[in-house]
Structure 1
Amino acid sequence: MDAPAPSPSRANLVLATLFLGMFVIGGTELLAVGVLDLIAADLRVSIPAAGLLVTVYALGLAVGGPVLTAATIRLDKRTVLAGALALFIVSNLVAVLTGSYGLLLVARILTGAFQGLFIAAAFAAGTAVVPPARAGRAMAVVVSGVAVSGAVGVPLGTLVGQALGWRGAFAAATGLAAAALVATLAVVPSVPGAGAGARGQVRSAVAPRVLAVLALTGLIFASVYAALTYIVPFLQTVTGVSGGLISVFLLAYGAATAAGSFGGGRFADADAARALVVGTAGVAGCLLALYLVGAVPVLVALALLAVGGFAMGMAPSMQYRVVSLAGPGGAFAQSLPASAANVGIALGSFAGGAAVGAFNTSAAVIAGLVIAVIAIPVAWATSFLTPPAVEVAAAPPPIREPALCQA
């Protein structure tokens, strides 16, 4: 017998709880960036070696997330969310307590994998408590947790790290994860797992139409991060900004990504395919503007705001398109956009670095622009892709008749 439908306020509370979980784990992913020097000094390794803690985390998310999602595909999503957070807490505690660089690397890989698992289950649980017409907005609330963590959580975590040490910062993140676990158990309802086994799910989720949108996702993130990875030296050498003003520019970008991810849900619900075409063209235009007005601080700030808004404004549409195009493989496909995004970030950072090494700091923006221009026809081509005939199976199984939710 189905459980009673959640009230609108209860559905919103569920989404807020999922947002909290995404905020905590998203902040933990990037927390190491702000305390790399402290980690390197404490463990007596080089800065590049400490930087591997960020790289292996992304690898764990990109590979381990889908693997764990496939392994838990039939489990109730509330159970998966709670389990992922519990394991996330344990692996973070290992990171806090260990004095071994090698063990810390392993802990970061596992933490990334558990984040990937949580992300997929969070999207499934979030879309299960809203009507199909609001699925994009539910996805936007969930993904906004990561965007807000980048804009607010990471700077705050860096301040804590400077005051209490990097272990103190990670301990604080672990405490927040424990709070998110308690909230998940108290608020998130039971959401049945997928009826089909992992093999059938994977087969549908890796169909060419899905891979095409995943490739587009990778290109979009590669274009942004080719420029963003080297935005600080760009601001210093081209724009002439230094010191605390750099933080203002970065905070503006972070605020734009948060706003974009929240607002992008409505575009996903209206026409996700068109949103990706417009958004990709918007990123290309903004990167071109960033290059052309690089010497004018005010215009650079506006360009960064626009890049952040366009890029993360597409995130709900990326998720929406991948899940809908996967058809009966939608439950497993929930984990794939995050993996594609992380691959794109890695490739974009590499491309930007190669451009800077060969030319100058402005070349990183050009590298991002070139990738964005390549992505435009890809976005246009994917807009013609349609879900398989069995569209109904694409969405995670509803737990009940959905209630209206002001997501």
Structure 2
Amino acid sequence: MSRARGNLALLSLFLATFVLGSTELVIVGVLDLIAADTGVTVGTAGVLVTAYALGLAIGGPALTAATIRLGRRTLLWISMLAFLLATLTMVVTDGFAFLLVARAVAGSLHGVFVGAAFVAVGSFVPPERMGRAIAVILGGIAVSTAMGVPIGTLVGRSLGWRGAFVAIIAVGAVVLAGLLLLMPAVSTGGAQGLRSQARAAFAPRVLVMLAIGVLLLGGQFTVFTYITPFLLKVTGLSDAAVSGFLLAYGVATAVGTFAGGWAADRDASRALVVANVVLVLALGLLYVAGAVPALVAVALLVWGLVGFGLVPALQYRVATLAGPARDLAASLPASAVNAGIAAGALLGGRALSGSGLPAVVLAGLAMCLACLPLTWLTGRWAAR
């Protein structure tokens, strides 16, 4: 396969994850509209976010296991088609219960697609570029956070929440055509059988790496879930300034994801350790200088660069430590990330209700600091 064709295949995967990320997060900007349309409270509508995350964390690996013998190219287009149909169900249904089920199903298909994409790139990207290829796939989600979600929210506020999802489905249909045309055939390691794959995918070394993902993302989302009230009340920013700070954070996140892929190619283990250390320093600065806007801006930019920049290295390490179980293991980091997000939001809420906003930052900092010995220890583990 030529390098140009491989780059086009990577582009199709980038656009696909952009669609997935936009679908996952744009709902936050239209929750009140969905609540009014379905006759539930905004708090109840928020369960739609939880349903998607749980679908991704639990349903993704389950569906991956169920389809382990299916070719990854076939799985990619089938899962994308099913994802678009699940999203279409949201658009045409009137009942909240159906919305909830559709979101959970879409989350599961999101997890299947991302895991299959990580396996697929291994068939047309040389090993020395795998980290950057992983970053391209994750970059679609990062860019959707910085661009797709604000644009989708604008469409939703103008044309109704269903209009936002119709726009996503339209883009997704084009992406699906690109996948069918550009993705090469990809072999699967499923011939080894689910039992042998599961044994390697859930080996202790892999589980420790997944625990690192839970802790590092959990620590970040302990803080990020409540970053807006922190910036308003502790830093003293205006609403407009908060939007600017968060936009800068989003751009830094997108840049950091691609930079993290480059770092993973050079040394994934070292990249994780360095990212962990820098993350601790950034959150520490946010805690001690939360009332100084200039220093808070620095903390957010540094945090954005390493916060998701560490995910390509995490994905890379899980795949290499899982060895022949890469097909199944590829879906597990996304589950760990979403489990960390859910746990972080819960921990942040408890810290907030107990001791206030500075305690939220301290709790997230403590979680990331507690993870540092693990990242250092796993750096000594060789790939299988």
- Whether these two folds match at TM > 0.5 is yes
Can you list the C-alpha shifts for 1:159-191, whole angstroms capped at 9, x where unaligned?
111101111111111111111101100111111
What does residue 323 of structure 2 align with? 327
Secondary structure (helix, strand or coil) at the match of 1:386 reads: coil
2:299 maps to a residue whose letter is: A
User: Which whole-Å CA distance do the structure 2 matches of 1:233 and 1:127 have between them?
Assistant: 42
Pick from 351, 375, 382 the counterpart of residue 379 of structure 1.
Answer: 375
Q: Which residue pairs with 1:98 in the alignment?
A: 93
Q: Amino acid of the residue matched to residue 267 of structure 2?
A: D
User: What code does the residue aligned with 1:366 have?
Assistant: L
Give the structure 1 partner of residue 262 of structure 2: 266
CA contact (8 A) 1:27 1:146 kept: yes
* Cα distance, 1:10 vs structure 2: 1.0
In the alignment, which residue of structure 1 is the partner of 2:8? 13
Q: Please report the TM-score for the alignment, with normalisation by the length of structure 1.
A: 0.93
Task: State the distance in 2 between where 1:246 and 1:50 align.
Answer: 25
Distance in 1 of aligned mates of 2:33 and 2:244: 23
* Partner Cα distance (1:179, 1:302) in 2: 39
Q: Hey, what does 1:182 align to over in structure 2? A: 177
The offset of 1:244, in angstroms, is 2.0
Give 2:109's aligned residue: 114
| 1:210 corresponding residue in structure 2 | 206
**Contact 1:28/1:173 (8 A) holds in 2:** yes
Partner of 1:99, secondary structure, is coil
337-346 or 196-205, which moves further after superposition?
A: 196-205
Matches within 5 A, 1:199-278: 199-278=195-274
Which AA in structure 2 matches 1:357? S
2: distance between equivalents of 1:126 and 1:363? 42
Paired position in structure 1 for 2:123: 128
**Superposition map of 1:353-392 within 5 A:** 353-388=349-384
Offset at residue 312 of structure 1 (A) = 1.2
Give how far 1:291 is off.
Answer: 1.2
Does 2:278 correspond to 1:282?
yes
Question: Which residue of the other structure, out of 183, 192, 197, is the alignment partner of 2:193?
Answer: 197
What TM-score do you get using the length of structure 2 for normalisation?
0.98
**Residues 84-112 of structure 1: CA distance to partner in whole angstroms, max 9, x if unpaired?**
01100111011011110001000000000
Structure 1 position 192, deviation (Å): 1.4
Find 1:343's aligned residue among 318, 334, 339: 339
Checking the alignment, whether the CA contact within 8 Å between 2:283 and 2:361 is kept in structure 1 is yes
Q: Is the 8 A contact 2:280 2:369 kept in 1?
A: yes
1:183 & 1:244 partners in 2: Cα distance? 38
SS in 1 for 2:70: coil
Matching residue of 2:18: 23
List per-residue Cα deviations over 1:122-160 (Å, max 9, x = no partner). 111122211111111111111111111111111111111
8 Å Cα contact 1:127/1:139 also seen in 2: no
Identify the structure with the greater helix proportion. 2
Contact 1:38/1:166 (CA < 8 Å) preserved in 2? yes
**Stretches of structure 2 lacking an aligned partner (at least 5 in a row):** none
Higher deviation after alignment, 204-213 or 258-267: 258-267
CA distance in 1, matches of 2:147, 2:358: 27
The counterpart of 2:30, out of the listed 35, 39, 42, is: 35
Measured in 2, the distance between the counterparts of 1:56 and 1:380 equals 34
Cα distance between partner residues in 1 of 2:155 and 2:293: 29
Residue pair 2:119, 2:326 contacting (<8 A) in 1 also: no
Deviation larger for 72-81 or 369-378: 72-81
Specify the alignment match of 2:163 in structure 1.
168
Aligned partners of 1:109, 1:242: CA distance in 2, in Å? 36
Counterpart code for 1:85: M
Percent identity of equivalent pairs: 51
Q: How many residues align?
A: 383
